[in-house]
Chains A and B, each alone.
Chain A
């Protein structure tokens, strides 16, 4: 196992290096310059001033020199300074992660809590009215545009009925609240975003769960269990479910980078200062250091997620021996 992880780690490092070269080239070659947005087409901002700013950012050096400089800093885990507001990239990313992570974790938890039972029960009652109704329900959640659903909910729950706040994550007077009030205030702000995000994510997990459960239920050992006369409950929840959960582990592993990725549309609508918005804003402003930072962290997490999924496979399924696979 240790040897396996070591080998994989070396492979992943090389892969990561490749990813950084490609992303660095692509974002620098793509049309547009950081100085365009800074200037906002103001005739008081001369071409000389724009060139001077580009020079101060080091953008007039050849691309490979810029990459090597970036790599040197990255080796020290320094992602550089944002072009937009001159703050360290790492700090900008770190202050955005908690809120995105919180929302994603909560919705992930709810998706699992609701999605798995839906999948399992649908599989058990395959073809029934319940199965069909659930299929429609989860696919509606999948298909409804996030922004539309969010706005409708905000309009009714926030504006007309005034039950919950519309957007943002804290009230204006948040700093003056006591601890308990703060928790309540935060939760009230998080209900709508988590609700919308959960509804949209149900389809994936529940459908995976349903088809995985269906294929397990057709296995010989389930028939054997039934022949032995085991209680249906034990068959379903002890024997079938354990095996059917395996593919879900893979999906969980793959969703690790999504946990901090956030979503632009979603975060913009609810005015949540998360990672999705940070990334979008920096792409629009050609804020190269921040773009690189977000992408590289995303890449690292994806690679780690894969590794983690593979390792946990071995843990869950004794038939898989990792050392054989390289």
Chain B
């Protein structure tokens, strides 16, 4: 025992010494090198760099480097302060007080203050502004600026997801107050508080950012960030191979079959970790075939999820059992996926009154065949392939599945919004707050709302409300884990899989750290040693 203690002490001393040595080295300028450029390749072009109007992932990615919110998620998916140093939530949960960082400057030199937050909030609730994000802020009764660095938000009722909604990028009041946000030139020439400054945007080609030397968390090591728009994934991959692109995402095929070469291992670092989303098959619960929960459970038994992951994702994913991010605190690890068991499926279907009376291999009940059509959107081969596997497995238990693929916009407005489907194969990408009120609450089933399967469960309704009303993390944990459990019991969706995110990055970039939040969380700490830098001006 004693020896262990001593060794511990020694290593503690050593650790301190090393830390000291590092500090000395850093102060002498032996830290990571500044310089170089990172070129990311993406198939989508951003639409606008006015953050509250940006609804596509490309715009959001770039806005995220130029702007900051009051709060943000750290690498372990906990909410921490960003432009806000700290915050307080009142006992009754109706007031949030934000204490802002002082001495933060906009990239044009003007000081950031609470006025900017107020301006952003007012734009979000302005009916004349084309923002899609007004929803969360409708719960705000009013916002008071107490002084330049303190502000208080009053809610109509306690609303815990509201806290995360303050991760919304804050816009500079002094530049935008007199502008029409819908048409402002700012959308292609933004000024923020973030680690990178906007430099240029060549439509259809690239967006270029340069590092902000005065960033409040320190100057980013990489000097330049170039977002190249390459709409074809095959071309993107060739550009990567030619090392003209440093950072992009791979498909499972590329990850498993095309990047296992010596060249890739030497020149690139590949990552795989669960993405923030899941794929599911949703039933139209108004449809008589799917009313019986035993039928839905039978389908869950009959479909082999592992097989889909092997076949479609080449193993790069995991079985999903519920609607939360697997790495988040809301995810209930006690919910175990049901084993693939076609015999059990058949028994359950028989119990529910379905049997094959005419011997054609398809079950019937009350003169109705068990045959249904699953619709999904065009342009997503993973979904199509998953459906083909489901089709085959369900046929084995006597259910006929037809597949219909529809172009996205028509799919949403004609089929999903109007509830004209029997079953649908889709994916949700998830926000980090587990509040799922809009997807699962029984009041959200009107046209265009997101509970399009028509799910209704009194306990879930109550839990969803409770989950929004408390800021107590343990309490919320209990609530969302219970919701997870009930949803897996009720099977309104056939939860299929969580695909892996598969980023690939040139190996000259160092300091990359994988965490539950992905790899982007410490982007400003990435660096390239001087002798490996590729873009030197």
Contact = CB atoms under 8 A, between A and B. Distances in A.
B238 A172 contact: no
Interface string B431-468: 10000101100000011111000000000000000000
Nearest to A30: B410
B71 to A, nearest CB: 16
Interface in A233-281: 268-274, 277-278, 281
B204 A96 contact: yes
Given A32-B409, A167-B230, A284-B409, A56 B187 contact: no
A92 B188 CA distance: 13
Given A168-B228, A277-B204, A45 B410 contact: no
B130 A40 contact: no
B205 A273 contact: yes
Interface residues of B, number: 61
Interface residues of A, number: 60
Nearest to A52: B127
Interface in B33-72: 37, 39, 45, 47-48, 55-57
A183 interface: no
B414 interface: yes
A49 B135 contact: yes
B6 interface: no
Interface in A91-124: 92, 95-96
B409 A37 contact: yes
Nearest to A49: B132
B235 A166 contact: yes
Given A151-B238, A271-B231, A273-B205, A32 B132 contact: no
A233 B409 CA distance: 61
B229 A271 contact: yes
A159 B412 contact: no
B239 interface: yes
Interface in B368-384: none
B532 interface: no
Contact of B412 (A36, A169, A285): A36
B472 interface: no
A150 to B, nearest CB: 8
A49 to B, nearest CB: 5
Contact of A284 (B132, B200, B408): B408
A277 B57 CA distance: 19
B134 A33 contact: no
A162 interface: yes
A284 B45 CA distance: 13
B124 to A, nearest CB: 10
B132 A38 contact: yes
Contacts of B244: 165-166
B47 A32 contact: no
Given A42-B132, A277-B231, A286 B409 contact: yes
Given A44-B136, A85-B47, A85-B48, A151 B410 contact: no
A86 interface: yes
Interface in B126-146: 127-128, 130-136
Given A45-B55, A85-B48, A39 B132 contact: yes
A277 B231 CA distance: 9
B235 A154 contact: yes
A288 to B, nearest CB: 12
A172 B413 contact: no
Contacts of A166: 235, 238-239, 242, 244
A6 interface: no
A96 to B, nearest CB: 7
A42, A154, A269, A286 pick with most chain B CB within 10 angstroms: A42
25 contacts: A32-B413, A36-B409, A39-B132, A44-B133, A44-B135, A45-B135, A47-B447, A49-B132, A52-B134, A86-B183, A92-B203, A151-B238, A154-B238, A155-B238, A167-B235, A169-B205, A172-B37, A172-B535, A176-B537, A271-B205, A271-B228, A271-B230, A271-B232, A281-B45, A286-B409
Given A31-B414, A43-B438, 18 more contacts: A33-B409, A37-B409, A41-B412, A44-B431, A44-B438, A45-B55, A46-B438, A53-B132, A81-B183, A85-B48, A96-B203, A96-B204, A158-B242, A162-B242, A167-B230, A175-B200, A271-B228, A273-B203
